[in-house]
A = this chain, B = another copy of it.
């Protein structure tokens, strides 16, 4: 079933110990859409400037992504520049230019209204809540956020959380959102804010799903998926959004949302994240095959399973 993703489409300048790129196609919605496109049809809502041309659009459409919801306006696209020279696990932001993204107001094309899966990438929670309200019939709504919104826009964010089935954030964001340093206690706090499932991304250590009303100290109602120990991380940008795309894309491809489907989705999230970081920007995500993806899925299983 189709996923509608709302989020940033951007250009990035990136430096890592493996090299640098002055201009990569990026943005959360881009990484998410490419990763999810290997599992299910994807529709994107975003905004770009005049610097986003046929070449960039082709990156998405070649993967079958529906780009009719990407609004083209005059000006420059969202631009981010970051460095991983000090720490491959955490980007140091050198520059952020919101540009056309500053006045982004998501409009939902009529053709998108029947989307059953909705992914709200990390944008202003006021906009996230607005989109969620306009899509009352989605079967499953999943969202992301970041420290900035947690810290300074908590009320708006809390509104969003009430409308989400799944929240997908990292360790630090989970602890910050709940105001609790113990991850299990923090997860329970976040689950009390609305989502039925919380997926906490641990970077190179994988991710943990917490779900159900009761997440007790004995690991009940938790599922932990690994990340692949990688010999070279070329560019960590977009790993989390690619995780989200693999996770939610796989779910949307399933007829039934069984507990097993959620577990496999966690693995596919890790799989897509592991591909994303192998090359700069979205390079690796543009040219995968489902066979490669399933082969890596098998490696994840072998990495973690007793037999």
Contacts and interface: CB of A to CB of B under 8 A. Distances in A.
Interface of A: 88, 181-185, 187, 202, 204-206, 208, 210, 215-220, 222-226, 228-233, 260, 263-264, 267, 296, 299-307
Contacts of A230: 182, 184, 217
B217 A231 contact: yes
Contact of A306 (B218, B232, B264, B307): B264
Copies of this protein in the assembly total: 2
Given A205-B202, A299-B218, A299-B219, A229 B306 contact: no
Contacts of A228: 218-219
Contacts of A220: 299
A76 B199 CA distance: 49
Most buried by B among A184, A220, A306: A306
Nearest to A233: B182
Contact of A231 (B185, B206, B232, B299): B185
Given A224-B229, A226-B224, A232-B217, A260 B306 contact: yes
A181 to B, nearest CB: 7
Given A88-B181, A219-B228, 12 more contacts: A185-B231, A202-B205, A205-B205, A217-B231, A218-B296, A219-B302, A223-B303, A224-B229, A224-B304, A225-B304, A267-B306, A304-B305
Contacts of A219: 228-229, 299-300, 302-303
A202 to B, nearest CB: 6
A208 B229 contact: yes
Contacts of A224: 206, 226, 229, 303-304
Contact of A301 (B88, B216, B260, B306): B306
B182 A232 contact: yes
A219 B202 CA distance: 18
30 contacts: A88-B181, A182-B230, A182-B231, A182-B232, A183-B229, A184-B230, A184-B231, A187-B229, A202-B205, A206-B224, A208-B229, A210-B229, A215-B229, A217-B230, A217-B231, A218-B228, A218-B299, A219-B299, A220-B299, A222-B303, A224-B226, A224-B229, A224-B304, A260-B306, A263-B305, A263-B307, A264-B306, A267-B306, A304-B304, A305-B306
